[in-house]
Every structure is written in C-alpha cells, then in structure tokens.
C-alpha cells in the first residue's frame, strides 16, 4: 500500500485577493456594495413577479428561480469573503470548505441548466406562439425546474467527491473561496486523472445546456427570418435579447475557467474570472432583465406608483 507524507487537514488558509491591509478595506467596501445591489435587485425581481399577475408566465417563473439561485450562490461565498477582508486569519474549517464547494458548484450547475431551460422556453414562444401555453404548462415548468436543481447538485456531489477523496498534504488554498482546481493542487499524489474528471464533469454541465441554447437560438433565428414585418423582428429579438446576454456572461467566464488550457493562464487571472462569475454576473442578471424588459419595468412603475399613492394617503390629514 502506497504511503503519503500526509497530515490530517482540519482547516484551510485562503490567500484571498490581496495581502495589503488598505487594499482589503477598499475591496471590502466594493464587494459589500455589489453584494447589497445583487440582493436588492434579485429580491425585487422575485417580488415583482409574485405581485404582478401579468408576469405569471413560464418565462418569469424561470426568471424568479434564476434570481433565487443567484441569491443563494452569492450567500454561499461572498459573506465569508467579506469577513476575511477584515480578519487577519483567513481560515475555513475542512467541513465548511467541503460544504461550500458542494453548494456553490450545485448552484452554478443549476443556473447553467436553468439557462438551457429558459432557452427552450424562448424557442417555444417564438417558434410555436399559438401552442405556447399548451406546451409550456405549469407541470412541465415545475418538472424542468426540479430537473435543473437535481442535475446541478448531482454533478456537484460527484465533483466534490473527486476533489476531497485525495490525500491532502497542504492547507493553503491560493484562492478566495474553496474552488475545485485550487483544492486539487493541495493533493499529495498525481492529480492528472482527477483534473480530467473535473474537466469532463464541467464539460457536461456547461456544454449540454450550451448546446440546448445554441439549438434553440438557431431555430429562433430561422423563425425570425421568416417574419416579414420589421416590427415582428424587433419583438422576437426583444424577447430573447436579455436571456442571450446573461447566457453569454455566465457561459463565457465558466468555459474560460474550466475548459481553457491552464498552462496559458495565471492563478491571478483565474481569480479575476472567478470573481466575475461569482459576484459580477449575479449582480448584472437583474439589471439586464429589468432594464431591457418592458414588462418588468412596467411592473416596477406600477409598484412604485402604489407606494407613492399609499404615502400620499398617509400624508393627507383626516
């Protein structure tokens, strides 16, 4: 039996983004602001969809699920990172690291599959508008959402086991969170096979939804080109623009991290890419879906109008 120079790792030290105390204060303020904007934006979208009956459609059902996933994803990593900016000892217990990796990977996988389901919804809406409500009925939407959660966390379980079944000789993670490739670098043994398995796992989670998105939008473009009126073109493209923007942001950053040859990238660059899909993308999602969506903006104006009317009533003397 092979023996390794291994000690039991009870906790990990995270190197984070910077060693400079002053820089960490600035980063804390920046990421706290981004965290609060993300929470506010996603909770606002969930509230608007819940309160406005015009938004009780499959597209907005999936959008509300996406907002829930983004809220949970941010809370799986960002609060710990904010605490570490203000503390001298940036440690995380072994079990917490395992849990964080499992939850964050599961939520990321769920989001990718959910974006694929949303692309299918747009495909049905554009290509089969007369049968849309029949095809995208409530039961199918619930089943697709459940399948997205199940697939995301099943893949996460496999990747987490692949990562933490190895004997670990080091306890310093060169990252700001417990990230798969960063943890694998702590192993005492050759990790070539594990990297291949992680890449394969990531490819399934990324490429299957991405293929569904590409197929859906190929059919959508064909359908749009058959529409003769310019107004019809704008309406069809408007239905898909927000979703396509979010897809490009999420898939682009993750493909670079997990499928780009790591010999050509640095650890610091990988951290920057990880920051993008960990913090920036969840913050931009509600902004993209609200500013580029007339129905969401109409629901927001209606909600603000109701608040203003209620405030005026309170100010009116009896």
With 0-12 / 13-18 / 19 or more C-beta atoms within 10 angstroms meaning exposed / middle / buried, residue 114 is buried
List the CATH number of the domain containing 251: 1.20.1070.10
Mean pLDDT lowest among 33-47, 114-128, 143-157, 208-222:
208-222
Q: pTM of the full predicted structure?
A: 0.84
Query: Could you tell me the two tokens for 188?
Result: 């005492």
Q: pLDDT band for position 301 (50/70/90)? A: confident
Does 287 reside within a domain?
Answer: yes
Maximum CA extent, the chain: 86
Instruction: Please count the other Cβ atoms lying within 10 Å of the Cβ belonging to residue 165.
Output: 9
Res 6 pLDDT > 50: no
Does 228 reside within a domain?
Answer: yes
- Which of 118, 146, 102 lies closest to 251 in space, CA to CA? 118
Domain span at residue 147? 16-304
At 225-238, the pLDDT tens digits run 776 666 655 655 66
Q: pLDDT band for position 2 (50/70/90)? A: very low
What is the structure's pLDDT at 52? 82
Does 4 reside within a domain?
Answer: no
The partner residues of 172 in beta bridges, in order of sequence, read 13
What is the structure's pLDDT at 260? 57
Does 40 reside within a domain?
Answer: yes
Does 310 reside within a domain?
Answer: no
What is the structure's pLDDT at 255? 67
The predicted model gives 261-281 an average pLDDT of 72
What is the structure's pLDDT at 102? 95
At 162-218, the pLDDT tens digits run 888 888 888 888 888 898 888 888 888 888 888 888 878 877 888 888 888 888 888
Number of domains into which the chain is organized: 1
Does 11 reside within a domain?
Answer: no
Does 82 reside within a domain?
Answer: yes
Does 313 reside within a domain?
Answer: no
More confident of the two residues 157 and 253: 157
């Amino acid at each position: 039996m092979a023996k390794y120079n291994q000690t039991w790792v009870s906790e990990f030290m995270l190197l984070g983004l910077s060693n400079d105390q002053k820089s960490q204060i600035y980063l804390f303020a920046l990421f706290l602001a981004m965290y609060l904007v993300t929470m506010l934006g996603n909770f606002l979208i969930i509230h608007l969809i819940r309160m406005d009956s015009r938004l009780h459609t499959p597209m907005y059902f999936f959008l509300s699920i996406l907002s829930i996933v983004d809220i949970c994803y941010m809370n799986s990593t960002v609060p710990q990172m904010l605490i570490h900016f203000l503390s001298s000892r940036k440690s995380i217990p072994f079990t917490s690291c395992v849990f964080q990796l499992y939850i964050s990977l599961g939520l990321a996988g769920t989001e990718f599959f959910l974006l694929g389901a949303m692309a299918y919804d747009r495909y049905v809406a554009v290509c089969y508008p007369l049968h849309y409500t029949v095809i995208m009925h409530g039961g199918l939407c619930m089943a697709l959402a459940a399948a997205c959660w199940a697939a995301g966390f099943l893949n996460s379980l496999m990747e987490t086991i692949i990562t933490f079944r190895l004997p670990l000789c080091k306890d310093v993670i060169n990252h700001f969170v417990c990230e798969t490739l960063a943890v694998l670098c702590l192993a005492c043994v050759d990790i070539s096979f594990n990297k291949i398995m992680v890449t394969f796992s990531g490819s399934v989670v990324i490429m299957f939804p991405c293929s569904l998105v590409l197929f859906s939008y190929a059919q959508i473009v064909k359908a749009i080109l058959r529409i003769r009126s310019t107004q019809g073109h704008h309406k069809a493209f408007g239905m898909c623009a927000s979703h396509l923007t979010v897809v490009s942001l999420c898939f682009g950053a993750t493909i670079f991290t997990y499928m780009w040859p790591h010999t050509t990238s640095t650890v610091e660059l990988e951290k920057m890419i990880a920051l993008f899909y960990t913090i920036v993308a969840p913050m931009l999602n509600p902004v993209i879906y609200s500013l580029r969506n007339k129905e969401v903006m109409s629901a927001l104006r209606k909600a603000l109008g109701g608040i203003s009317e209620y405030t005026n009533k309170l100010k009116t003397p009896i």
